[in-house]
Structure 1
Amino acid sequence: MAMQRLDQFHLGRDLAKRWLNQKITFKALLFIALGLSCIAFGISAPLALGLGVVFTNILGNPLASVSGKVVDYSLQIAVVGLGFTISAKEALATSQDGFFLTAFSISLTLVLGWLLTRLFGTDRGTSSLIALGTAICGGSAIAAAAPVLRSTKDQITVALAAVFLLNAAALWIFPMIGQLAGLSQGQFGTWCAIAIHDTSSVVGAASQFGEESLAIATTTKLARALWIIPVVFGLSLLSGSQNKRIKIPYFIGLFILAVVLNSYFPALTGFRPYIQQGSHLLMTLALFLIGAGMNWKVLSTGGLRILTQATLLWVIVAGVSLWAIIHFF
């Protein structure tokens, strides 16, 4: 544990040095100003993502070498902060309520992914990563499974590009569908956690529906992310890669700790509104930077066939889970 903290310290120090060593151009200043304005004016999650996409496709991302790490840290801190707004009783109840739906949707997604791979005749390695990202937690699942599946850099890039594009679409599409379907906050939060790939887009979409929706979506999604462990471990057994380390997002543990502290240390209650606001602001910044990483070259990687396959898989899973939530939740 001490070595892990030391490695994180060195990583943070190196990241700070890279920021300081950047040649600050007018384009970089404009990029930073736009990112900070997303926080200062409290703009919505879809707009923050859209601004990032527009900026990078017109002017490029002048801080591309470091913005990826800033996204990671912003997202993780924001999710941990949200833990301070959720009680342990609510978190446990939410996890239990969504357990069977989560297990069913993960199984359905993996089976559908295999069938669509055969139907489309696409690269099996890339398709497996997309199916795992759709089934569990987007980029985190892809990163965890890639070493076990011995994925190439190109396969990882294509899978991430497809997942990120669909994440962006979910931020705009899901709230509209939720309103049209008349979903309650609880139903919408559960649907987001089941049907949207990455935690960032889950939180971004759910936050547009209300605080109850956000709490349920965050808790259910992070409980879902724990399925990385058995699924990737099973893959390692099947592929004979037992010696590969499974990468589990450590911030999930910090989120659980935050929930426990919020539940059993009443003295923290007075800080809850500030923590909640800070988490929302960091999430907005993360979504802006995620958008800034989505240039057309990345999004077009892999061709139309793999993107069509990924989209069809996502639409089926989202549709089936929406039907199940409307009728049984």
Structure 2
Amino acid sequence: MKKYIPGLLLLLVISIIAIFIAGFLPEYVGSVFIAILIGILINNTVNLNKAIFGPGISLGLKKILKIAIVLLGGTISLQKLATVGVRGLFVILVIIGLAFILTFILGRILNISLKKKILIAAGLSICGNTAIVTTAPLIEAEDRDIFTAVSIVTLFGVLAVFVYPFMGMAAGISDTVFGAWAGTAINDTSQVVAAGFIFSEEAGRIAAMIKLARNVLMAPVILIVGYFYGKRQKEKKGKINILEIFPAFILGFLFLIILNSLGIITENMEPVFDQTSQFLILLALAGIGLEVKFKDLKKVGVKPFIVGFSVAISMAAVSILISGTIF
């Protein structure tokens, strides 16, 4: 157990610093992105002793992240889907499908790896960084794949917070339409809420409601991704094990969703699950930066960003067209 302490303490310190810095920045920037950047800075300026810090960092990336994902299930309930109605659910499903289809088409054209395509699509279509880190262990994503997807989602989301309200006001669209647009086309929850309330209080409430329903769909989307990716990988070996396709942490995640949907997890308990899971995610992702070298970032190139931004712009265009028609 002692061998894990130095690495875990380093992750804890980075997380606390990231939270502190994030307190001086707009909420939509996010402490996760800051923690990853701090980790990268440390890894490229300080000669870390991997024998000392490595075990704890690895524990954060492999074990703590999975615990965070399980706890995240305690914040999701099927009842939240009912709050947006049929029209809202229709727009959400169209946008999720569009994001995956376009990401895979453009990714194939630009020769982007399968893991990057899955993470980019998950992050853009569902709930930003949370969807990325939940999907990553399922597909055994590499650290630089996660960093790339998180960077794309964060950068686009920050731009959207400023650009979308301005475009909405210039176009003279209603609060309802803007709320539906922001709730379906922007990625991270804090970014959605920020853009919505910049436009108007009513738009902010609608955007938040639609975004929460969109977050619920993370469960079925991840199940589908896990099934097809796991089946594809195991078929290569000629053997399929259901626990390899759906690992224990995903089953735990689904179990807590069921408990929450049945009302066993009360509304008072949800914030505890939410805050604990978000902090553990931050702790784990601080380790991503500690595994990334600048030379690795050069290998990433601009292609994933071209794919991500093209998909995000397409999502925005389709979302506003549908939202403006049916709301």
| 1:258 CA displacement | 2.2
8 Å Cα contact 1:222-1:252 kept in structure 2: no
Q: Residues 124 and 325 from structure 1, CA distance in 2 versus in 1: closer, same or farther, beyond 3 angstroms? A: same
* Unpaired segments ≥5 residues, structure 1: 1-16, 147-152, 197-201
Residue 22 of structure 1 is matched in structure 2 by 6
Please say if 1:31 is aligned against 2:21: no
Please say if 1:165 is aligned against 2:151: yes
Aligned residues: 287
Q: Residues 219 and 237 from structure 1, CA distance in 2 versus in 1: closer, same or farther, beyond 3 angstroms? A: same
Deviations 1:166-210 (Å, cap 9, x if unpaired)? 1222442333244332574895477445553xxxxx333245456
Deviations 1:192-235 (Å, cap 9, x if unpaired)? 45553xxxxx3332454567644532332222440344466567
Deviations 1:5-30 (Å, cap 9, x if unpaired)? xxxxxxxxxxxx368532788x6775
Please say if 1:129 is aligned against 2:118: yes
Residue 42 of structure 2 is matched in structure 1 by 59
Residue 276 of structure 1 is matched in structure 2 by 271
* Unpaired segments ≥5 residues, structure 2: 198-203
Q: Residues 195 and 243 from structure 1, CA distance in 2 versus in 1: closer, same or farther, beyond 3 angstroms? A: farther
Residue 113 of structure 1 is matched in structure 2 by 103
8 Å Cα contact 1:105-1:321 kept in structure 2: yes
Residue 217 of structure 2 is matched in structure 1 by 223
Residue 191 of structure 2 is matched in structure 1 by 205
Residue 92 of structure 1 is matched in structure 2 by 82
Q: Measure, in 2, the Cα distance between the counterparts of 1:87 and 1:114.
A: 28
Residue 48 of structure 1 is matched in structure 2 by 31
SS in 1 for 2:311: helix
Residue 5 of structure 1 is matched in structure 2 by none
Q: Measure, in 1, the Cα distance between the counterparts of 2:14 and 2:34.
A: 10
8 Å Cα contact 2:120-2:149 kept in structure 1: no
Q: Normalising by structure 1, report the TM-score.
A: 0.62
Q: Normalising by structure 2, report the TM-score.
A: 0.63
8 Å Cα contact 1:109-1:317 kept in structure 2: yes
Residue 201 of structure 2 is matched in structure 1 by none
| 1:44 CA displacement | 2.9
